Amino acid sequence: MEFQHLNVKLFVEKEEKVDLEALIPVFHSWIQNQAGGELLLDVADYRHIRSGPGVILIGHEGNYSLDNTGGRLGVRYNRKAELEGTNQDRLVQATHATLAACRRLEIEPRLGGTILFHGREIEVLINDRLLAPNTLETRAAADSEFRTFFSTLFRDIEYAVSYPQDPRSLFSVHVKASQAFDTTALLNNLNSMAPVSHQG
């Protein structure tokens, strides 16, 4: 089974402190600087929708958003372009893109340290229902890939996984580690894995 179009979401700590409006000029400045090595195009503002995608930075290879889907705020990277390599490579790419975006927001002076990530919970989705329908078969096929990846990401710390049941939803896995990591630690853990191209 091939993982493509991975989405990775890392949840925000103290959601009530986050002002989505303040994020808009930050995303615009990422476009000005073409931050992160991907082609960044535009900003879409969906703050008016409850439990929606919040504010999205539209890119060519992938979108970044401060996403409130499911009523939980987090940075979500949505890989749109197909990516060569192994499934582990793709997991590393999408997670690295997410963590790097999180880190940039944490240290962004205009946000004044209001956006922090607890690094204990992470959600991985496959945004392609034909490649990965939300079934038990997909879960079985993906399980060993996920175990390999999360063992590295969380440095063999115990973690629990859960899978949403609705067959209409995208196939996804929600992972909760037994201890918190900061984004820098998670990035370091990730860097210990085989390097991959993040451009695709």
Integer angstrom CA distances of residue 187 from 132, 153, 155: 27, 8, 12
First to last CA, the chain: 19
**Which region, judged by CB under 8 A, interacts with another protein, from 45-53, 92-100, 136-144, 182-190?**
45-53
**Closest C-alpha to 92, from 185, 190, 5:** 190
- What's phi and psi for 97, nearest 5 deg? -60, -40
Per-residue string for binding with another protein, 66-95, x by CB under 8 A?
---xx---------xxx-------------
Per-residue string for binding with another protein, 2-21, x by CB under 8 A?
x-xx----------------
Give the contacts of 45 (CB within 8 A, at least 6 positions apart).
Answer: 24, 55
The residues in 108-167 that bind another protein, with binding defined as CB under 8 A, are 127-131, 166
**Which region, judged by CB under 8 A, interacts with another protein, from 11-19, 39-47, 156-164, 187-195?**
39-47
**Which region, judged by CB under 8 A, interacts with another protein, from 57-65, 97-105, 135-143, 157-165?**
57-65
Residues paired with 11 in a beta bridge: 74
Residues in touch with another protein (CB under 8 A):
2, 4-5, 24-25, 28, 31-32, 34, 39, 41-53, 56, 58, 60, 63, 69-70, 80-82, 127-131, 166, 168-170
